[in-house]
């Protein structure tokens, strides 16, 4: 018990000491952590402040996120082949469509604060900051597990994948809801402005 307490106190005093990294790598990690924090803050800020509506803009982000999740599973598959855990990855991959569909349904329901409005004569939309933040955090946690803790318990890795899949579905569902709101409110206008 005392060894666990010592480990925990050392980890809380200096979280990066757990990884036994040289100083330059700690500085690199700090730089990337700050960069990621700034990018997440910008993403959340843009979600709340609103953006000019374009069907291409609306769906480019979610499609990119789906590609990132696909890359995540490709990476997980390579790691699982190395560790002879391919059956777990197959189960994860089979669950992806169901989890993303569940996320789409939830995102469509949770997108109540999203709105489409006219600003300076052009349609704009704002989306949920919470959904953006949930996806960003789940993606960062999943990538951190793959990159820095590949031998972490399988259940934690699978749980982070499940959360990431549902969060990706949330973003897709939110985009579909915004698109439907735009089509309903501005059906007489051009359906997909540039």
pLDDT at 168 over 80: yes
Q: List, in order, residues 6 or more apart from 58 with CB less than 8 Å away.
A: 125, 175, 178, 179
Residue 165 resides in a domain = yes
Q: Band of the pLDDT at 191, cuts 50, 70, 90?
A: very low
Pair (139, 101) in one structural domain? yes
pTM of the predicted structure, to 2 decimals:
0.70
Cβ count near 86 (within 10 Å)? 12
108 occurs within a structural domain: yes
Is 110 inside a domain boundary?
yes
Rg (CA), the chain: 20
Could you tell me if 64 and 13 lie in one domain?
Answer: no
Whether 192 is in a domain gets the answer no
Query: Are 125 and 182 within 8 A, CB to CB?
Result: yes
> Is the pLDDT higher at 177 or at 29?
177
* 42, 134: one domain: no
Q: pLDDT digit string (tens) for 8-27?
A: 566 555 555 555 555 656 66
CA atoms within 13 A on the CB side of 82: 9
For residues 18 and 86, membership in a common domain is answered with no
User: Which of 30, 49, 68 lies at the terminal end of a domain, its last residue?
Assistant: 49
Residue 194 inside a domain? The answer is no
Q: What is the mean pLDDT of residues 4-8?
A: 60
**Out of 58-72, 88-102, 146-160, 174-188, which region has the weakest mean confidence (pLDDT)?**
146-160
Regarding whether 110 and 18 lie in a shared domain, the answer is no
Same domain (yes/no): 17, 63:
no
Tokens representing residue 171 in the block: 């973003």
Looking at the structure of the chain, the number of domains it has is 2
Q: Which of 170, 45, 188 is nearest to 110 (CA)?
A: 170
Lowest-confidence region among 57-66, 91-100, 179-188:
91-100
Whether 118 shows a pLDDT value over 70: the answer reads yes
Separation CA 63–CA 91 (nearest Å):
23
Mean pLDDT of 170-182: 90
Mean pLDDT of the chain: 75
Among 18-27, 46-55, 63-72, the range with the most confident prediction by mean pLDDT is 46-55
Q: What percent of the chain has pLDDT over 70?
A: 65
The verdict on 30 and 123 lying in the same domain is: no
The residue range of the domain holding 69 is 51-185
Q: If you ran DSSP here, which 8-state letter would residue 17 be given?
A: G
Q: 2 exposed, middle or buried (CB, 10 Å; 0-12, 13-18, 19+)?
A: exposed
pLDDT at 7: 59
For residue 194, the model assigns a pLDDT of: 43
Residues 77 and 38 in one domain: no
- Residue whose structure tokens are 């390579």: 78
Judgement on whether residues 40 and 134 belong to the same structural domain of the protein: no
193 inside domain: no
């Amino acid at each position: 018990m005392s060894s666990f307490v010592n480990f925990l106190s050392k980890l809380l005093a200096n979280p990066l000491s757990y990884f036994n990294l040289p100083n330059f790598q700690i500085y690199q990690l700090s730089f990337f952590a700050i960069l990621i924090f700034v990018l997440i803050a910008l993403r959340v800020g843009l979600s709340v402040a609103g953006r000019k509506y374009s069907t291409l803009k609306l769906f480019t982000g979610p499609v990119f996120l789906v590609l990132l999740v696909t890359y995540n599973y490709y990476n997980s598959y390579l790691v699982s082949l190395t560790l002879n855990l391919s059956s777990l990855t197959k189960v994860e991959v089979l669950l992806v469509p169901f989890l993303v569909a569940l996320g789409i349904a939830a995102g469509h329901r949770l997108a109540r604060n999203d709105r489409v409005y006219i600003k300076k004569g052009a349609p704009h939309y704002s989306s949920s900051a919470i959904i953006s933040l949930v996806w960003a955090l789940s993606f960062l946690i999943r990538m951190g597990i793959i990159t820095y803790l590949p031998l972490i318990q399988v259940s934690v890795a699978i749980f982070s994948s499940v959360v990431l899949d549902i969060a990706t579905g949330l973003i897709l569902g939110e985009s579909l809801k915004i698109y439907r709101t735009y089509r309903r409110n501005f059906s007489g206008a051009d359906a997909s402005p540039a």
